[in-house]
Amino acid sequence: MERRRLAPSDWISIGLYSLLYFIMVGISALLCVFIIPGYSYVYIPVVSALLSGPVFMLAHAKVPKFGMIFTMALVMGIFFLVSGRFPLAILPAIIFGFLSDGINHPFHYRNRWVSLVSYVLFSFGPTGPIWPLFFAPERYAYDLASDGKNVEYIASVFEAISLNTGWLVLILLFIASIIGGLFGQYLLKKHFKRAGIV
């Protein structure tokens, strides 16, 4: 039981992997801005799920203990909270981070398919900031106005976004997380293990 608890060295590793994940989300945001036309902010979780699989699977293999995945998700949720996003934007990070960690725990973080499902759940954690856009548009418009956006900009946002866009994002996120997770597992097996990283 003692070995399953997070040690000080584990917290250092979690901090490193959380930073790497944060960087991947940042890269995803830049890619969305430059590649996807229109209000591409809503697609950041999709691109992030596609790119972050290797970071997640490496962290998963290096720190196979309960709390590691949840902490990574929580760090992103706290960032949303302190950066002035919708106050409840932290909730998906908490919920999906806990579920992602929870389903892995009984399998001691060793089952490949459970790990993949875990990554799919984890990938829904960063969706907190986009939910109000689809389900609380008045609040989202208020937040944009508070950030100094003019009426024309706010109108252009909602011209390109609908509830159907929300469903599209969820479907794409599900697909991207599977691809990203499988790619992460492939790199873990073919490169990370051979290089002695894991």
Residue-wise pLDDT tens digits, 165-195: 888 899 999 999 999 999 999 988 886 666 5
Domain extents for the chain?
A: 2-192
SS3 state of residue 175:
helix
85 neighbors 128 (Cβ within 8 angstroms):
yes
Higher pLDDT, 47 or 156: 47
Give me the CATH topology for the region 2-192: Arp2/3 complex 21 kDa subunit ARPC3 (1.10.1760)
Entry pTM: 0.87
Evaluate the CA torsion angle 19, 25, 28, 32 in order and state its sign. Answer: negative
* Residue pLDDT, tens place only, 109-156: 889 999 999 999 999 999 988 887 877 778 778 777 877 788 887 777
